[in-house]
Amino acid sequence: MKSRLVAGTALLVALSTSSLAAAKDEPAAANKDGVTVGADGVRRDPKGVKGISPFWEAIKKGDDAIAARDAEGAKAKYQEAIRSEPHHPMGHYRLGEAELTKGNLKGAEESWQSGLRFAGQDPTLKAKLLFLIADVKERQRALEEARNGWNAYEGFAKVATEAKTYPGTPPERIKRIEDLKKIEAEYTPVKERIAQRLAEAEKKAAADAQSAGNR
């Protein structure tokens, strides 16, 4: 009798535990506003009013991945955020940062250019994007485009007084670009002479080889 009682109690505990686990795995039911509270305790709201929206949840997970030095994981989450709200500039801004972390300058620039198209209502973010685009152009040695980028940033900084900007940076970077262009201009004739001498040396070596073969 005692063994049957123990067995019955164990069965009830097992059923209770499995029911709790199943309930935990089930998605939380949404209220009339579509708000849910998941098993993790996070309140989720598609509109982002009474809880975190899918967009900002993806951004948060991307930021966590960046903090964990997982650039690929961050990129995937930022792309998820962009799919959720393609016209939100923050997703493109963050994706550009992830691309930069990976050393993909072209990818970073493309993401920031996309963000710039949608940043009209956020002067602070627009200023950041203009700064980053000018900087990444300079890193890619696209000097004329970089110069134009710094001019654009400087012009925006003058009118967007509510945004935090660095007006002293463009003149410094433009001067640096002009110095680099001058160095390149001075070095161009040298490179041309070197290339000419190499071509002449290769031509002479080929002629000598042919002459030796004819003997």
Q: What is the pLDDT of residues 13-40, one digit of tens each?
A: 343 444 434 444 445 555 656 677 666 6
**Residue type for position 174:** I
Q: What is the pTM of this model?
A: 0.71
**Distance set, CA 172 to CA 8, 128, 147, 150, 176 (Å):** 81, 17, 11, 10, 6
Indicate the average pLDDT of the chain: 83
State the Cα–Cα distance between residues 207 and 197, nearest whole angstrom.
Answer: 15
**Residue type for position 177:** I
- Those residues whose C-beta lies under 8 Å from the C-beta of residue 35, and which sit 6 or more positions away, are 43, 44, 45, 50, 51
**Distance set, CA 82 to CA 108, 127, 182 (Å):** 15, 20, 41
In the numeric block, the tokens 């997970």 are attached to: 61
Q: What is the pLDDT of residues 93-108, one digit of tens each?
A: 999 999 999 999 999 9
Answer CATH for 43-209 from 1.20.1440.230, 1.25.40.10, 3.40.462.10, 3.10.450.50? 1.25.40.10
Sequence-separated contacts (24+) of 138-145 with Cβ below 8 Å:
138/173, 138/177, 139/105, 140/105, 140/106, 140/109, 143/177, 143/180, 143/181, 143/184
Q: What per-residue confidence (pLDDT) applies to 22? A: 44
Q: What is the pLDDT of residues 116-161, one digit of tens each?
A: 999 988 999 999 999 999 999 999 999 999 999 999 999 999 999 9
Mean pLDDT, residues 161-175 = 94
Do residues 102 and 73 touch, judged by C-beta distance below 8 A?
A: no
- Those residues whose C-beta lies under 8 Å from the C-beta of residue 135, and which sit 6 or more positions away, are 146, 149, 173
Do residues 31 and 51 touch, judged by C-beta distance below 8 A?
A: no
> Using 50, 70 and 90 to split pLDDT, how confident is the model at 201?
confident
Query: What are the residue ranges spanned by the domains of the chain?
Result: 43-209
